[in-house]
Structure 1
Amino acid sequence: MKIQKEIIEFEDGKSFKLFSPSLKNCFFWHYHPEIELVYVEASNGIRHVGKNISDFRESELLLIGSNVPHLNFDYKIQTECKQLVLQMRENFLQDLIFPVPEFENIKHLLDRSYLGLSFYGEAKKIVVEKLHRMKDENSFESLIGLIEILNILANSDEVKELNNEDTRIKWFLNDKIRMGTIYDYINENYDKKTNVNEIAQIVSLSTPAFCRYFKKQTNMTFTDFVNNYRINQAKLLLLQNSCITEICFQVGFESLSYFNKLFKQHVGETPSEFKKKHLNKVEGMI
Structure 2
Amino acid sequence: MKIQKEIIAFEKDTSFKLFSPSLKNCFFWHYHPEIELVYVEALNGIRHVGRDISGFTESDLLLIGSNVPHLNFDYGIQTECRQMVVQMRENFLQDIILPVPEFENIKNLLERSYLGLSFSGETKKIVVEKLHMIKDKSPFNSLMGLIEILHILAESNEVKELNKEDTRIKWFLNDKIRMGTIYDYIHENYDKKTNVNEIAKVVSLSTPAFCRYFKKQTNMTFTDFVNNYRINQAKIFLLKDYSVTEVCFQVGFESLSYFNKLFKRHTGETPSEFRKKYLRNTEVRN
- TM-score, length of structure 2 as denominator length: 0.87
Q: Deviations over 1:215-236 (max 9, x none)?
A: 3443322111111111111111
Alignment match, 2:111: 111
SS in structure 2 at match of 1:160: strand
Alignment match, 1:47: 47
Partners of 1:83 and 1:246 lie apart in 2 by 31
- 1:1-286 to 2 correspondences below 5 Å: 1-282=1-282, 285=285
Partners of 1:283 and 1:125 lie apart in 2 by 18
CA contact 1:264–1:270 (8 Å) conserved in 2: yes
SS in structure 1 at match of 2:59: strand
Greater shift, 101-110 or 228-237, is seen at: 101-110
CA contact 2:264–2:270 (8 Å) conserved in 1: yes
Partners of 2:11 and 2:43 lie apart in 1 by 33
AA of the residue aligned to 2:272: S
SS in structure 2 at match of 1:173: coil
Partners of 1:153 and 1:280 lie apart in 2 by 28
CA contact 1:31–1:69 (8 Å) conserved in 2: yes
Partners of 2:76 and 2:179 lie apart in 1 by 19
Change beyond 3 A, Cα 1:25–1:240: farther
Report how many residues are paired.
286
AA of the residue aligned to 2:250: Q
Runs of 5+ in structure 2 lacking a partner? none
Change beyond 3 A, Cα 1:281–1:50: same
Change beyond 3 A, Cα 1:187–1:139: same
AA of the residue aligned to 1:219: N
CA contact 2:27–2:180 (8 Å) conserved in 1: no
- TM-fit CA distance, 1:243: 4.5
AA of the residue aligned to 2:261: K
- TM-fit CA distance, 1:161: 0.9
Partners of 1:188 and 1:7 lie apart in 2 by 30
Partners of 2:138 and 2:194 lie apart in 1 by 52
Partners of 1:14 and 1:37 lie apart in 2 by 16
CA contact 1:33–1:90 (8 Å) conserved in 2: yes
Change beyond 3 A, Cα 1:89–1:52: same
Change beyond 3 A, Cα 1:284–1:161: closer
Change beyond 3 A, Cα 1:284–1:74: farther
Partners of 1:212 and 1:2 lie apart in 2 by 18
- TM-fit CA distance, 1:256: 3.5
Partners of 2:112 and 2:210 lie apart in 1 by 30
AA of the residue aligned to 1:119: F
Seq. identity, %: 82
SS in structure 2 at match of 1:54: strand
Change beyond 3 A, Cα 1:96–1:240: same
AA of the residue aligned to 1:168: R
SS in structure 2 at match of 1:126: helix
CA contact 1:42–1:80 (8 Å) conserved in 2: yes
Change beyond 3 A, Cα 1:179–1:75: closer
Runs of 5+ in structure 1 lacking a partner? none
